[in-house]
Structure 1
């Protein structure tokens, strides 16, 4: 049942093009009774495979800014590893509330991100990866954005996709196409080091990871076939709805248990 559920979840994630670790967390906790800390570690570990293969594909398509991606991902890995130790010290019920709220915020930010991208296209701007629209030196920008998004991933177990993409759009002036591809590269080391942190803290399940990874990878391949066929408005609504639905699922579950 878990493998089949992850297959269906993969179809949704493949269609929306989102990392989806947040909704996976919600399903594992609410539907299958997995402890929240273990769900965080497994969901992040499953992202390692999808983001790694995804970043290779985007690199071949010319959608990745290597310099920004590696620098931001390196700082993000440090923040993610530190975040897992913070997460392990948070009470399970409180962590469910915090993760649920962060997922809802992620959905709102995804909507803002797509609005910004649409405005860029209307203005005829494609973004310049060599200059930053904000007057901040490159290494200060990647350090704060990398560590900040890495901490979010480590503490709450989410991929921080909308946060990373907003930073790439606003701080570095990348186009949406470049922001999407570079985000995959940034998330890969974040997911690796976050997974390592949860593993060292004893919050991990290898068999569960196998089921989640196999199910979502197969489902994502199927779901991606429908992306180009969907109207843009439907796609934007779906991208926003997935993390919000996951967040609400966690919050309602905790509210019913109080």
Structure 2
């Protein structure tokens, strides 16, 4: 596969995930393991290396658009970063099957909760005294996904933000901000000389271009319509990712 094709793949992933609140870890891992047959450690490190610059570019763009909600984002980062460190240190000792089932169940539960929220919305949305605790828990789950498996951890962060009643545009922006913090920590712990530089750099170039365009595209959409159409799609994708891990 040519470098141009790699850049194109990175562009599409960067544009897609930075428009929908993810970091692309699962997609990058799928490409790296499925198409290039990289080993798990190399794929994890290369995935984080590829995703991190695009996350930074995307987060800056969302910040300039004024859509990042720092208060709730910081609450998630406070727990996500320690969880990323712990997950990275424990990853060599955790049986893959146990980790897979735990994360799969969490993702499925989060996706189903979004569906419940869609079909049975609360008439009086107000801040709950448990919101800070919920944000902290979502941060922990995301951090463990980054630390243990080299995933971006975007699914639980985005799901958590949606369940905490952020609209889709602001949830996407805040998710990008949170993922910058977890990804840089995960990248540091997963380096160990495992990055496939030739593949990673080509994907990264495309991903950065896609991430640069994503906030600009979001600034032109109607937040209400975007929330209405994309939120159920995100719920389906989160449930799908959970099921895919165990099937």
Q: TM-score, normalised by structure 1?
A: 0.69
Task: Work out whether 1:148 is the aligned partner of 2:141.
Answer: yes
Contact residue 80 and residue 151 of structure 1 kept, 8 A: yes
Q: TM-score, normalised by structure 2?
A: 0.72
Deviation per CA, 1:26-73, whole angstroms, max 9, x where unpaired?
Answer: 111121111112211221232221222222222222211112212321
Runs of 4+ in 1 over 4 A off after TM superposition: 101-112, 117-120, 219-228, 231-248
Q: 1:45 to 1:9 in 2, by over 3 A?
A: closer
- CA drift of 1:161 comes to 1.9
Structure 2: stretches of 5+ with no match in the other structure: none
Task: Work out whether 1:209 is the aligned partner of 2:200.
Answer: yes
User: How far apart are the structure 2 equivalents of 1:45 and 1:52?
Assistant: 12
Q: How many residues align?
A: 237
Contact residue 14 and residue 206 of structure 2 kept, 8 A: no
Root-mean-square deviation over aligned CA pairs: 4.1
Contact residue 61 and residue 212 of structure 2 kept, 8 A: no
Structure 1: stretches of 5+ with no match in the other structure: 253-258
Look up the match of 1:35: 39
User: How far apart are the structure 2 equivalents of 1:158 and 1:89?
Assistant: 17
- CA drift of 1:246 comes to 11
The correspondence of residues 231-250 of structure 1 with structure 2, limited to 5 A, is 237=233, 240=236, 244=240
Look up the match of 2:182: 190
Contact residue 104 and residue 244 of structure 1 kept, 8 A: no
- CA drift of 1:154 comes to 1.4
Contact residue 10 and residue 203 of structure 2 kept, 8 A: no
Q: 1:45 to 1:152 in 2, by over 3 A?
A: same
Q: 1:246 to 1:49 in 2, by over 3 A?
A: farther
User: How far apart are the structure 1 equivalents of 2:231 and 2:140?
Assistant: 30
- CA drift of 1:166 comes to 2.4
The correspondence of residues 92-131 of structure 1 with structure 2, limited to 5 A, is 94=96, 98=100, 106=107, 109=110, 113=114, 116=117
Contact residue 76 and residue 178 of structure 2 kept, 8 A: yes
Task: Work out whether 1:60 is the aligned partner of 2:72.
Answer: no
- CA drift of 1:191 comes to 0.2
Task: Work out whether 1:180 is the aligned partner of 2:172.
Answer: yes
